[in-house]
Amino acid sequence: MAYPYGEPLTNIGSDPWDLTEMKGRDSVDLLARMVYAEARGESVEGKRGCAHVAKNRKAKNLSEFGGNTYEGVLLKKYQFEGMTTEAARKPDLSSQAWKDSLNIAMNMSTTPNPIGNCLWFVTNSYYATRVSYNNGVEYYTFPGSTARKVVEKKVIGNHTFFRVEGY
């Protein structure tokens, strides 16, 4: 690594989803930035959950998730909104949240997985607006899509982690 993890980055793209400045950074830096941006106010377990969504997507190796690298997964357009924020581009390196995020990213091979095979996470309040029930079965509707049966779900803090049928 030729740069410090979490060093400030400036959005050099034409829109927030243009993450050009993050391309070529190593997986630890990118994963720590995503965890920090998405879950800095959550428990360590909640932060681990966010990290494991990225790990699970990487293991799936699907183009819709960005392939089989952390860079591909974490920089995939419209997937991890936190990556478009100042929190990801300029994390508070002195905060406990950054230290936790970096520790999780550096130790992914031994970090406990609290979410099983879940591939998505959203805030609990957002999840509540997208979920419906039919005969006791839970369905999640992605924006612009049809309802998909939820086959795995875990709530940790303010996030709902889930996986839908077909994945």
Per-residue pLDDT of 3-14, as tens digits, reads 799 999 998 878
Q: Which CATH class is domain 20-106?
A: mainly alpha
Run of H or E residues at 72: helix 70-74
Residue-averaged pLDDT of the chain: 96
Q: d(Cα 11, Cα 89) in Å, to the nearest integer?
A: 8
The ranges of the chain with pLDDT < 70 are 1-2
Give the pLDDT confidence score for residue 2 in this predicted structure: 64
What global pTM score does this model have? 0.95
- DSSP E strand boundaries for the chain: 120-123, 131-134, 137-141, 147-156, 159-164
Give the pLDDT confidence score for residue 14 in this predicted structure: 80
